[in-house]
Structure 1
Amino acid sequence: MITFTAIRYEHAMLRGEKVLLRARHDDDVAMLHADLHDDVAMRSRSDGRAWRPIPAGSSPFAPAPPSDDAAVFTVVRLADDAVAGEALLWGIDLHNRQAHVGISLRPAMRGSGLGTDTVRVLCRYGFGIRGLHRLRLETLADNTAMVTAAERVGFRREGTLRSNAWVDGEFLDEAIFGLLAGEFVQLPGD
């Protein structure tokens, strides 16, 4: 018997082994806002802007009209259709054919390979669908999970910005990674 879920996701272009990237729905906002914005320590580590209280009604996770310089997705865990977090290509530069990669997973979803799969699907989207030439990923140098995900997908460390990020009362280093379209190795079935 084919379930509704199997029909809905079987041919999805932005499907990985563990995740599906889809447009943001209004139903996603409260959960993403609570887990990814209201956690001050986590948000301070994932966003270069100073944290400030924002009511859920004005959430940065609210669906927005499409834009030329960003592609924003909700990450869904395929195993149970649970909202796992957000993923985006931002700073899309069509002239130079490049963009930045960003992901943020809910705390309960971390540590199970969803991050690596999400980065891989974003790369496939950026290179295969958007026709980009280069993707860039910035993360705090001590963010082992993101560094590992980037390296597993094929990103190369291009440098370190020393004491570049003000996080919770101290400056931290940021690691810069890059991946060119010709370096991206897709998995079988991609």
Structure 2
Amino acid sequence: MLRGSKVGLRARHDDDIPVLQTELHDDVVTYSRSELRPWRPITPGSKDSRLVVDDNEQGHVSFSVVELDGGTLVGNATLWGIDLHNRSAHIGLGLRPSARGKGYGTDVVAVMCHYGFIVRGLQRLQIETLSDNAAMLRSAERNGFVREGVLRSSAWVMGEFLDDVVLGLLVQEWKRDPPGKADARP
């Protein structure tokens, strides 16, 4: 498990999937604000679920996010679009509604930076988020990400186009410990 100050990132367990599917995927608005593809229903237990991890897939790595105090599942995090030639990847995360507003997002981004830069040896990490997602923008910027641009009206979300903000962080700009002191302690 990778540990921050508040959360741990661990392998996805089978019993995580129904919780994440119900609270993150089946909520049409939440899904529509976080995914590039349109929402569609997925049958519970389906192997087609985006939450089922394919351990042979090399282009992305999915984690379940748990509280360090008690081990409660609070969300998921993904390092996706991994490009080994250019040594870059994207960070994505989703928190259960009950876990939002507690600083977990900032800690998840810190742990994902540790994983991307230290464990994977990447040079660049990127986050794309909707321009009105203040929590994600704050989490990224607290971890040193810089706003690199705005993709105007690039995201179709629930009947309207919204702007996407692109944020980037290079390994040489990264400050290892703040804010979550992420590491790979057992």
TM class by shorter chain equals over 0.9
Higher relative contact order (CA closer than 8 Å, sequence separation 6+): 2
Residues 119, 149 of structure 1: 8 Å contact kept: yes
Q: Which residue of 2 aligns with 1:108?
A: 98
Measure the CA separation in 2 of the matches of 1:139 and 1:49: 14
Structure 2: 5+ residue stretches without partners: none
Which residue identity lines up with residue 37 of structure 2 in the other structure?
A: R
| Deviation readout 1:6-39 (Å, 9 max, x if unpaired) | xxxxxx4x10000000110101011000001000
Moved over 3 A (4+): none
TM-score by length of 2: 0.93
The aligned counterpart of 1:55 is 43
TM superposition shift of 1:64: 2.1
**Residue 28 of structure 1 pairs with residue 24 of structure 2:** no
Q: Give the match's secondary structure for 1:26.
A: coil
Q: Which amino acid aligns with 1:24?
A: R
Query: What are the within-5 Å matches in structure 2 for residues 1-190 of structure 1?
Result: 12=1, 14-58=2-46, 59-187=49-177, 190=182
1:67 Cα shift? 2.0
Q: Which protein shows a greater Rg?
A: 1
Aligned residues: 178
Counterpart contact for 1:155–1:178, Cα < 8 Å: yes
- Distance, in Å, in 1 between the alignment partners of 2:124 and 2:43 is 36
Q: Report the secondary structure of 2:102's partner residue.
A: coil
Question: For each residue in 1:82-120, what CA deviation from the matched residue of structure 2 results, as whole angstroms up to 9, or x when unmatched?
Answer: 101100100000000000000000110000000000000
What is the DSSP-based 3-state SS (H/G/I as helix, E as strand, rest coil) of the residue aligned with 2:45? Answer: helix
Structure 1 stretches of 5 or more lacking a match? 1-11
CA RMSD of aligned residues (A): 1.1
Separation in 1, partners of 2:13, 2:40: 24
Q: Which amino acid aligns with 2:27?
A: D
Q: Please tell me whether the aligned partners of residues 89 and 102 of structure 1 are also in contact (alpha carbons under 8 angstroms).
A: yes
C-alpha distance in 2 between matches for 1:64 and 1:106: 22
